Amino acid sequence: MAGSLQFDLVSPERRLASLSASEVQIPGADGDLTVMEGHAPTITTLRPGVLRIISAEGTKSYVVTGGFAEITAAGVSVLAERAVPQEEITQSSMDALIADASAAAAVNSDKDSADKAVADLLAMRTAAGF
């Protein structure tokens, strides 16, 4: 495929994807970014959101709760705290993530960061179609 880059996605539980992609859309902590062939080398943290990979086989989407993305001349590697193919995520699992974050926010001394984490998860739920 012309204009392609290698994409790899892993979480602590498993390797979720390893494929040639034309575009990778990443929910970065400082804003969303789209990576294509020739992108400048970058390392960014992820916020909760939907990561999309566009390839010759179509678009694949994964719900991620955080982690890191490394962009190099060779491609994109994403190390996710938690990642689930979007078609496997359910309303109840999404609600559980938000409930856990809300409970943690209630006892967290850094209230702003905790509230942002809950807000990011609520936005992720909307982006995932729930």
CATH of the domain at 42: 2.60.15.10
pTM of the model: 0.82
81 and 95 fall within a common domain: no
Q: Place 111 in a pLDDT band, splitting at 50, 70 and 90.
A: confident
10 and 45 fall within a common domain: yes
38 and 78 fall within a common domain: yes
Q: Place 101 in a pLDDT band, splitting at 50, 70 and 90.
A: confident
Residue from 86, 127, 81 nearest 101 by CA: 81
Residue 52 structural domain = 5-86
pLDDT (0 to 100) of residue 117: 78
Q: What is the mean pLDDT of the chain?
A: 88
Of residues 108 and 126, more confidence is placed in 126
At 64, which helix (H) or strand (E)?
A: strand 58-64
Q: Place 71 in a pLDDT band, splitting at 50, 70 and 90.
A: very high
14 and 38 fall within a common domain: yes
44 and 66 fall within a common domain: yes
50 and 61 fall within a common domain: yes
Residue from 52, 48, 47 nearest 29 by CA: 47
113 and 69 fall within a common domain: no
Q: Place 2 in a pLDDT band, splitting at 50, 70 and 90.
A: low
Largest CA distance in the chain: 50
10 and 59 fall within a common domain: yes
73 and 105 fall within a common domain: no
pLDDT (0 to 100) of residue 1: 45
Report how many domains make up the chain. Answer: 2
Q: Place 31 in a pLDDT band, splitting at 50, 70 and 90.
A: very high
93 and 122 fall within a common domain: yes
* Residues of the chain above pLDDT 70, percent: 98
82 and 93 fall within a common domain: no
Q: What's the rounded Cα separation, in Å, for the pair 34 and 51?
A: 10
